[in-house]
Structure 1
Amino acid sequence: MSTSVTRQHEPDRFEISSDEKVAGFTQFLDRDGRRIFVHTEIGEEFGGQGLAGTLVEEAVAATRAEGLTVVPVCSYVKKWLTKHSEHEDITASPTPDDLAAVGA
């Protein structure tokens, strides 16, 4: 199985592909130097392969490389970050403005 993670636009999200088929995505909104992660989803047929973790790891690494702060609204991203304290320095809790921006 070969996997790859790519950034997509409209909507803004990172997608993970497995054997050249889109297996899932994590959607986000960039706002004021903050990347607000809204939703992560892996297709049912791709479950149990660790793809969500790989996807979020790549998305967080790209966010760091772009000099942005990670703001987890998505429950999966929030949970993943609790297990990866090495990203605490670029992680912030969502503000009321962040939540309003994503309609949460």
Structure 2
Amino acid sequence: MIQEIHDNTGASASVSLNKTRPIGTYTVNLAEGLPVGRVDFVDSPEVDGERIVFHTEVDRKFGGRGLAGLLVREVLADSIRTSVTIVPLCPLFAGHLKRHGDEFVADGGKFRPPTPADIALVRRATKLHVSFPR
């Protein structure tokens, strides 16, 4: 577990990290342990300490509770704690960093824009990753 958090309703949740290769995931779980959202990423095999964030998703049944924003903030906070540079392919992350990037950098965070090589890496990783129905 990275940290216990509370959504807009005051309900407890936690964010955990699974660094499985090729695709790692941060997952937000409700207090009962029910996973309700995720952020998927690929750690760059060529540049140590770069994390390409490419997908954020929260179960629609839990929409409006601020869980996507909590996930974004927790992933960014973890990147500061672990000195990881964020490469935001995910539109939610890119938008957040466009609005709050100066604050993130002032707090010790690092990010850079994605390149075509980053996009190609994510495409290769997602082709290799077999997804099973839930």
TM-score, structure 1 as length reference: 0.91
The question of 1:103 aligning with 2:123 is answered yes
2: CA distance between counterparts of 1:25 and 1:17?
Answer: 9
1:18 corresponds in structure 2 to: 30
1:2 corresponds in structure 2 to: 12
TM-score, structure 2 as length reference: 0.72
Could you tell me how far 1:52 is from its partner in structure 2?
Answer: 0.4
What does the per-residue CA deviation read over 1:4-59, in whole Å, with 9 as the maximum and x for residues that have no partner?
A: 11101334110011232111000001111210001000001110000001011111
Letter in 1 for 2:53: F
1: CA distance between counterparts of 2:68 and 2:76?
Answer: 12
CA RMSD of aligned residues (A): 1.5
**Aligned with 1:78 (options 68, 73, 94):** 94
2:62 corresponds in structure 1 to: 46
What does the per-residue CA deviation read over 1:43-100, in whole Å, with 9 as the maximum and x for residues that have no partner?
A: 0111000000101111111112111111000111111222322124511000121111
2:113 corresponds in structure 1 to: 93
* Larger Rg belongs to: 2
Percent identity between the two aligned chains:
35
SS in 1 for 2:123: coil
Where do 5+ consecutive residues of structure 1 fail to align?
Answer: none
SS in 2 for 1:4: strand
Aligned length: 104
- Of the structure 1 ranges 24-33 and 87-96, higher mean CA displacement relative to structure 2 is found in 87-96
1: CA distance between counterparts of 2:36 and 2:93?
Answer: 17
Letter in 2 for 1:7: L
